[in-house]
Amino acid sequence: MKIALLSGLLILASSASFAATTTLFISRDTTLFQTNADNNLGNANIISGSTSRDQNSRGLLEFDLSSIPSSSVITGVQFQAGLIRQSTSPISSAYSLHRFLKDWTEGVGGAGADKTGSPALTGETTWNSQYFGLTPWSQPGGAAGVEYVSTASAIGPSVNSVGSTYTINSTAQLVADLQLWLDNPSQNHGWMLIASAENSADSARRFSSSELPGSGITPRLIVEYTAIPEPSQGMLLVLGAGGMCCRRSRKT
């Protein structure tokens, strides 16, 4: 009798869990741009890869997870962004997401006439600085193992064209990144987007951003999760009643 009662209560408690899928649009983004190392590109496209002048760029992007119930278990993550511009003589490159380890600011630097951003204001993030005029990176552009995790959480396909949606499919590490951030929101500094061929000229691509959603494709995450709500007061009362029944049964 006791086992049956407890089993029924556990089934009742577990029935509150449910699987869900949600789309999260990017909450902030910027680019570390070696061509103009003290410029901020917070109000421009996200750029990743090397320009025709052999100068690198790396994107920073972050997603707000607050709409996902805090006790959820993440089961799948897919990243999508618009691939909207490249050089006139592009080389093929893949692009990977690396968990970022330090805070940064989006800034308001625009694309400008030559699409290289604007001189940074104090505190804005640039190629040289975590916070311009205040705190430099450990090395320009950020250092592996210090500013970002050296091993990619996921890598997308190699491309040599634009005008499409760039998709990075779910991996165990992408799922682990989101779970970490959901459980510890203060550690959510997003990802750095790095080109696999960033040391080769003409590997740079411009991706859509929160301000410039190329072809309507605002960067997004498609997140699958299992929501496990915290026990309600009513459920706690039911479980408490079950415990009392068990104790009375032992006494008799």
**Span 114-148, pLDDT tens digits:** 788 999 999 999 999 999 999 999 999 999 999 99
Six token digits for residue 103: 């805070």
pTM greater than 0.75 (yes/no): yes
Rounded (10°) CA dihedral 36, 41, 46, 52: -20
Domain boundaries in the chain? 1-16+232-247, 19-228
Average pLDDT, the chain: 88
Q: Among the listed ranges 1-5, 65-69, 173-177, which one has the minimum average pLDDT value?
A: 1-5
**pLDDT > 60? residue 211:** yes
Six token digits for residue 125: 């993030």
Residue 16's pLDDT is: 73
**pLDDT > 50? residue 239:** no
The answer to whether 81 and 157 have CB atoms below 8 angstroms apart is: no
Of 127, 99, 117, 107, the closest CA to residue 206 belongs to 117
The string over 67-91, giving b where at least 16 C-beta atoms fall within 10 Å of a residue's C-beta and e elsewhere, is ebeeebebbebbbbbbbbbbbeebb
